[in-house]
Every structure is written in structure tokens, then in C-alpha cells.
Structure 1
């Protein structure tokens, strides 16, 4: 798990989120209201929910485009449990929260788990990498 993870406020601009992603060389940032995790914003959220909709990156707030249905885990969970969760929902990173206040304590990535040489890494990677069905038909 990576500790001391940088987060962004839901009140910050989408432009600030994109700048942070560039500075940190990441594609997603946890969104916290104080210490409490309230969502995640990804480069895809910015592109699909904001830019494609013609929204201004300066005036659009992170809270308007972030993903709120965030899968989390606890530091006490087993590697296999976290890998199974990643595979089930096809994600490569999971915020780690404390069990009481749902405060962000870190983030765990597929790469972090791969270094643990878990038996479930191959299965999780296959499930995460399998293309999912589009959530809507493409307009032509």
C-alpha cells in the first residue's frame, strides 16, 4: 500500500485535478472532504464527463464529474480479498480507508499486490484486462 496519497477536494476545479494528475504522473486521484473519502476522479471522468460535454475546466468542480461509487478496502484485508475485488469490478487501484471514519489512509495498486507474489494475481489481471461491454451504444 502507498501511504501519504495526495487527494483533491470536490470543490477544486477539473483543471486543478488534471494538473495534479500531470504533476503526480497518475490517472486517478482520491477525492476527500476533509479526511473522508467521497469519490475518485480519473482522467477518463475528466475526458468523458467534462470535456466531451463541453464543460469549462476552470468552472467545473471535481464533485460534478467524479465517480462516487468507489470500491475501497481496509488495511486489514487479505491480498486475495483485494485482488478478487479488483477483478470483479475491473479496477487497478483501490483506496484504503480506516474502518471507522472512512478516512483515506492509502491506496493499493495491482502493482503493489504483484510484488507480494499472490496466487490470485494472474486471475485478477485477466479479469481486470478483459474488455467490458460498452455502457451505451456508440453514436455514428
Structure 2
């Protein structure tokens, strides 16, 4: 099965020039914790609710801080025609719950989550989720 068969196609995108408050409002409206960041039809980053909390709010940044100052610029993505099993394995290895999906011209066409892939194969998604959920940081002990 290809990723295109199980991904979510209706994806909201933030601009690097949007404020973190605008990004948070979009996340609230669509009930999501992550937004792709796009500019000129290209994926340039990802911003999560955790990015907003840790990279902006915890450092005393204002709500008008541009998304570009809190987003992750290094984006791991997959192609719409990639094999879903391989993407699921990669998500587990990289400890990702969601991954943007691009076409061969690298234009954003969707987003795929462990939940999307779980509909396909519960056993494989369970293995990936157990890799993603590995403890880390100060609370790991």
C-alpha cells in the first residue's frame, strides 16, 4: 500500500511569517498539535505545540513571535508513492508520530500519522508506536 492511500489530504499550513499565536489558533481549530510550515509552495519547516511552548513561551517570547523563530527547519518527509510499511518503520526509527507527505516535485500533498497507518496494520503500527514512545530526557529515570 502506498502512503497516498492512507494519508490525510486536507492539511492546514502555517507561513513562516505567521505568528506563533496564529499557528496555535489553527492548531486549536483543527485539533492538532503540529502544522507544516510552507513558503512559495514548498515545505520549509514544521511547528508543534511543543515548539511554541519550549522554544518561545518558556523563553519569554511574545505571542507575535514569527513561526520561523520557533519552528523546526529540518523536516523529515515521505513521498505520496512511498510504501506505507517502509514509512511506518522509518517513523518508528525517527520517533515521529506524524510525517508530511510531498509529491515528487516536493510540494506538500498531505500528512500521515501513526493513526492513519494503524488502520492498515495494527501490529506494525504498535511496533512503531513503541519505538516512538521510548523514554528520554530528565524524566526517563
- Given the two structures, how large is their TM-score scaled by the length of structure 2? 0.89
Offset at residue 4 of structure 1 (A)? 2.1
Alpha-carbon contact 1:93-1:108 (below 8 Å) kept: yes
Please, which of 38, 54, 62 is the counterpart of residue 60 of structure 2?
A: 54
> Which residue does the alignment assign to 1:106?
110
> Which residue does the alignment assign to 2:3?
none
Unaligned runs of 5+ in 2: 1-6
Q: Within 5 Å, which residues of 2 pair with 1:1-140?
A: 1-58=7-64, 60-100=65-105, 102-117=106-121, 119-132=123-136, 134=137
Q: Which whole-Å CA distance do the structure 2 matches of 1:86 and 1:57 have between them?
A: 31
- With CA pairs under 8 Å and 6+ residues apart, which has the higher RCO, 1 or 2? 2
Offset at residue 118 of structure 1 (A)? 5.8
TM-align CA RMSD = 1.4
- Given the two structures, how large is their TM-score scaled by the length of structure 1? 0.90
Count matched residues: 133
Unaligned runs of 5+ in 1: none
Q: Which has the higher helix share?
A: 2
Q: Which whole-Å CA distance do the structure 2 matches of 1:37 and 1:93 have between them?
A: 15
